[in-house]
Structures are given as structure tokens and as C-alpha cells.
Amino acid sequence: MKKIVFDIETQNIFQDVGSSNPADLDISIVCIYDYETNAYDSFLQEDFPRLWAILDKADLLITFNGEYFDIPLLNKYYKKSGFGDLKDIRSLDIFKEIKNTSGRWLKLDNIAIGTFGISKSGDGLDAVKWWREGEIEKIRKYCLDDVKITKDVYDYALKNKKLLFKQGPFVKEIKLDVSNWEMEPEAKTQSLF
């Protein structure tokens, strides 16, 4: 199974575009981890043809809040390139899994602190500021850090069937059903009849 973890940073924020639709924003960078090659990579817009070749072969896209944000935004570019629709590729949104299981709307930072004792290296507003200042390498590092944390969170949850999160001075646990996280592509299309 070809699994890709990815995260996106933007050039702007919702207030700039007068919309709450992620597809109205503009991408500054996309970073990925490819389980097949065990490699991290980053893509500015001019590098997207190289990214499309990777995503086109993916069986599973892994994100944190990707169903709402990352996939619709990246899909705007993917569709324009003639590659189809990212929604046709199976995805797993760790944020959604946590929300559906626990009812909690947790940030990746809360999970990283609770599970690994580490904090994220910034936030999306920092990335927009860096874009406006021409600090591409700062954005790249921040986005790759988020991909590494998302990958580690995914791997930890898959192995331990739970995640930990920081709430005030306490670390709490969320049990997760990961039994269908890595279904083979053929398994999801088999008919029940």
C-alpha cells in the first residue's frame, strides 16, 4: 500500500480572501512523507507536476484536518492539472478520527505534546508571515516538521490504538479503532453481494 502523509501551508488566510472555503486560499508549499521511499519532500507550486506523479500512485493520503482543509485546497490545483480528483484517493484524517471517537476538537500540537512531549515549531499564521517576508526555508522547515509529527502520530496510533493529549496540566488518553486504517485498496471495493 502506497501511503503519503502530507501538509500544506498557504500564502494567505481566510480574512485575506473574504471566504471560509479552503479552496479560495493559495498554496505556498506542500510537504509529504512517502512510506514507500521512506523520504520527506517539499513542493512549491512550480514543483507540483512532480507531486502529482507521486499522488497519482497513492493508495492512502494521511492528514491532520485534511478532509476539511488540505485536500479541498490541494484538489483545486490537482484538478486544474488534469489529474482528476483527490477525493477519489482514499484518505485518513487523524483529526476527524479523534473527533468522531472522542467528540474533541484537538489541535495537532495538543496531541504532539501529550503523546511525545514535543511542541510544533510554529503555526499557520507564522507560515503566512514568512511567505510575505520571502522566508521560504522557514516555511519548508515548519511544514516538514508538521508532516513528521503527523506521521509519528499516525504510527503511534496504529501501533498503540490510542493517542494522548495535553489538557491543562493533565495528559489524557483517546482510544482509537484503527482496524480499517490500512485496508488494502482491493478490500474497500469488494462487493458485499
Identify the burial level of 129 via C-beta atoms within 10 angstroms of its C-beta, where 0-12 means exposed, 13-18 middle and 19 or more buried. Answer: middle
CB 124 within 8 A of CB 22: no
Q: What pLDDT shows up at residue 15? A: 94
pLDDT tens per residue, range 74-85: 999 998 888 789
What pTM, to 2 d.p., does this model score? 0.92
Q: Can you tell me the distance from the alpha carbon of 20 to that of 104, in angstroms, rounded to the nearest whole number?
A: 21
pLDDT tens per residue, range 108-157: 999 999 999 998 887 888 999 999 999 999 999 999 999 999 999 999 99
More confident residue, 68 or 81: 68
Structural domains of the chain sorted by starting position, each given as residue range(s) with its CATH number in brackets: 3-189 (3.30.420.10)
